[in-house]
Structure 1
Amino acid sequence: MNEGEKDPGLYDFAPYRGRKPFAWPGDKKVAVWISPNLEFYEINPPANPHRKSWAMPHPDVVRQSHRDHANRVSHWRMAEVMSKHGFPGSVSLSVALCQHHPNVVEDANQRGWEFFSHGIYNTRYSYGMDEAQERAIIEDSIKTVRDATGQTIRGWLAPALTHTPRTLDLIAEYGLDYTCDLYHDDQPQRVKTKTGDLISMPYSLEVNDHYGFFVYNMSPREYADTLIRQYERLAAEPSGTVMCIPLHSYLIGQPHRIGPFEDVLKHIAADAGDGGRAWITRSGDIADAWRAVQQKEA
């Protein structure tokens, strides 16, 4: 095995069916959290030699304005439906949004949503960054979100899902306690870092609306059916599981898509009362509950 083939050793191998079963608070079967990506896309970002920000030559007005629908229109449509059915958000935040569109951030904060960092801009990538640059982004994220919302971020989703080999070590060093950048499990797991353990918070590419509509070419009804099937299977598992629904409001908040999505929320909310299987919650609350389970079993 050469150096490039070595397992990075980020987490231990733990066969799914060999784990000790546990339940979420209230004896719930599946922790459901929604992660709206509240983002800002620059129309003409600095060039990164490793990846282009836009498919077309800059300025790519068509794609940038499509995404700008999020902060002008579709955030509000998506957020109102979520609040109507009792779903808080755990926001994957491009922290520059705090300066560009503070009213969007304030709306989410007033709804009781949690914030974690998705980098400064989703059009600036971690590829090629040195340690000082990466530290600056983490420090900026912590300070900007705290100043804008009063919250101290606990989680991280790398900007445009781009990383360096040091990313997880650095966010742990700065006191963050979960990462959404690993897609290897349906339950939280420990991640090994130089300064201690992070939690890998189950996020999703499979039921991410970006993948649903752009990669798998689903109709709104097909995407809604996929979410319901995802929920029902996870709720039927023998131990506590996590279902994350990652959203981009410029997609899910379009008028022709919001109705089928609301049907999903109704379906899950109907299974969240006494005797139900759904724990509708936020990512930080899942991290706390999972740590409590691990401490009890230690």
Structure 2
Amino acid sequence: MTRKPLLPQHSRYDYVPLPERKDYAWPEGKRLAFCLTTNIEWFAFGAGMGHDPAKTGEPQTHRNYSWRDYGNRIGIWRLFDLLDELGLPAAHNCNSLVYDYAPQIMDALRARGDEVVAHGRSNAENLRGLWEPDEERILREITETITQREGAAPKGWMGSGAYETSNTLDLLKEIGYEYVMDWPMDDQPVWLRTKHGPLLSVPYPIELNDSQVVIHRKQDAGDFCQMIIEQFDEMLEQSVKHPLVMNVSVHPYVFGQPFRLRMLRRALKHCVDHVGRDAVWWTRPRDVAAHCMALPPGVVP
């Protein structure tokens, strides 16, 4: 007699432990893929959702709006300079409304050749509670906006707040997305099942995410930067056995602050100047996804 499951589960992916997976390499035999992903977001004034620098659940006021807007006015430009200084490529989770309110930012990242990852319309809202037709309308609006402005459809999706509904993955695959970064369950890409075929999950961090560390957990910026160093050193060693993805998530209104930027520079320089850097693929999520999609079936779990 078959024993019935005791807990609600999902069918998006199977449990495949790391030791049971097939080996592969990144381009040129690299073993660690390093991605730096910023979050470029626009918020409603005095309405909707959004982080507060004081405590969770504070009302939307001029204070928290302008604190976050610092990232668009000042922080992101300092991060662009830092990326140029270190010669690092980057991806940017972008709200589609940034095209309307701060087009200079989108022009700058386009000039850098960086990746635009679709990140909702605004982080003042998310997809929770939407009926499927309403969600589809919003997803298509976002996709069309990016496609028109960039001349090509976005390859990847990162939900506002990483929130989804039970229909999101199916709709994203139907619309044409190749990967998502909402499922932080792995250090390797993993295929997700949808009604319209497989959709790749590219690793994106909850842990190595400045929003989680500095804002939610109230840890010091130095803690976050030390986490980058420890993560890099350990994953570089671990990647000898398994190809891995190290993705670092940064918000311009957090690490665009000068005192934090200085610490971030030191942490990233540790990675870039590391004696083992030749084993690292300095890349973007879309390139990780493209490489995985070109591998023989069954290699990526």
TM value normalised by structure 2: 0.90
CA shift, 1:102, in A, is 0.5
Q: Separation in 2 of the partners of 1:278 and 1:188?
A: 16
CA RMSD, aligned part only? 2.1
Does 2:41 align with 1:29? no
Q: Give the 3 Å change call, closer, same or farther, for CA 294–86 of structure 1 in structure 2.
A: farther
CA shift, 1:136, in A, is 1.4
Q: Separation in 1 of the partners of 2:6 and 2:104?
A: 46
Q: Separation in 1 of the partners of 2:6 and 2:168?
A: 18
Q: Separation in 1 of the partners of 2:296 and 2:261?
A: 38
Q: Separation in 1 of the partners of 2:157 and 2:40?
A: 14
- Structure 1 contact 269–278 (Cα < 8 Å) conserved: no
CA shift, 1:89, in A, is 1.6
Greater shift, 211-220 or 201-210, is seen at 211-220
CA shift, 1:4, in A, is 9.4
Does 2:298 align with 1:284? no
Q: Residue 72 of structure 2: SS of its match in structure 1?
A: helix
Greater shift, 60-69 or 150-159, is seen at 150-159
Segments of structure 2 that go 5 or more residues without pairing to the other structure are: 50-55
What is the aligned partner in structure 2 of residue 194 from structure 1? 195
User: Which amino acid is the alignment partner of residue 198 of structure 1?
Assistant: L
Which structure 2 residues correspond to residues 25-174 of structure 1 after superposition, within 5 A?
Answer: 25-45=27-47, 55-58=57-60, 60-174=61-175
What is the aligned partner in structure 2 of residue 247 from structure 1? 250
Q: Separation in 2 of the partners of 1:4 and 1:251?
A: 42
Residue from 248, 265, 283 that aligns with 1:262 = 265
CA shift, 1:292, in A, is 2.2
User: Which amino acid is the alignment partner of residue 21 of structure 1?
Assistant: D
What is the aligned partner in structure 2 of residue 51 from structure 1? none
User: Which amino acid is the alignment partner of residue 236 of structure 2?
Assistant: A
User: Which amino acid is the alignment partner of residue 114 of structure 2?
Assistant: W
- Structure 2 contact 34–246 (Cα < 8 Å) conserved: yes
Q: Give the 3 Å change call, closer, same or farther, for CA 32–2 of structure 1 in structure 2.
A: same
- Structure 2 contact 39–252 (Cα < 8 Å) conserved: yes
Q: Separation in 1 of the partners of 2:230 and 2:5?
A: 40
- Structure 2 contact 46–65 (Cα < 8 Å) conserved: no
Q: Residue 193 of structure 2: SS of its match in structure 1?
A: strand
Q: Separation in 2 of the partners of 1:43 and 1:31?
A: 38
User: Which amino acid is the alignment partner of residue 8 of structure 1?
Assistant: H
Q: Give the 3 Å change call, closer, same or farther, for CA 3–126 of structure 1 in structure 2.
A: farther
| 1:13-50 Cα distance to aligned partner (Å, 9 max, x none) | 11111112222112112101111101001113358xxx
CA shift, 1:67, in A, is 0.2
Q: Give the 3 Å change call, closer, same or farther, for CA 296–270 of structure 1 in structure 2.
A: farther
Q: Separation in 1 of the partners of 2:275 and 2:176?
A: 32
Q: Residue 276 of structure 1: SS of its match in structure 2?
A: helix
Q: Residue 271 of structure 2: SS of its match in structure 1?
A: helix
Give the fraction of aligned pairs with identical amino acids, expressed as a percent. Answer: 28
- Structure 2 contact 22–299 (Cα < 8 Å) conserved: no
Segments of structure 1 that go 5 or more residues without pairing to the other structure are: 48-53
CA shift, 1:236, in A, is 1.2
Q: Give the 3 Å change call, closer, same or farther, for CA 142–235 of structure 1 in structure 2.
A: same
Q: Residue 294 of structure 1: SS of its match in structure 2?
A: coil
- Structure 1 contact 268–278 (Cα < 8 Å) conserved: no
Q: Give the 3 Å change call, closer, same or farther, for CA 220–228 of structure 1 in structure 2.
A: same
Q: Separation in 2 of the partners of 1:29 and 1:242?
A: 9
Q: Separation in 1 of the partners of 2:59 and 2:257?
A: 26
Q: Separation in 2 of the partners of 1:284 and 1:145?
A: 15
- Structure 1 contact 179–200 (Cα < 8 Å) conserved: yes
Q: Give the 3 Å change call, closer, same or farther, for CA 6–70 of structure 1 in structure 2.
A: same
Q: Separation in 1 of the partners of 2:183 and 2:162?
A: 10
Greater shift, 146-155 or 183-192, is seen at 146-155
Q: Alignment length, in residue pairs? A: 290
Q: Separation in 2 of the partners of 1:272 and 1:180?
A: 30
- Structure 1 contact 74–249 (Cα < 8 Å) conserved: yes
Q: Separation in 2 of the partners of 1:198 and 1:225?
A: 33
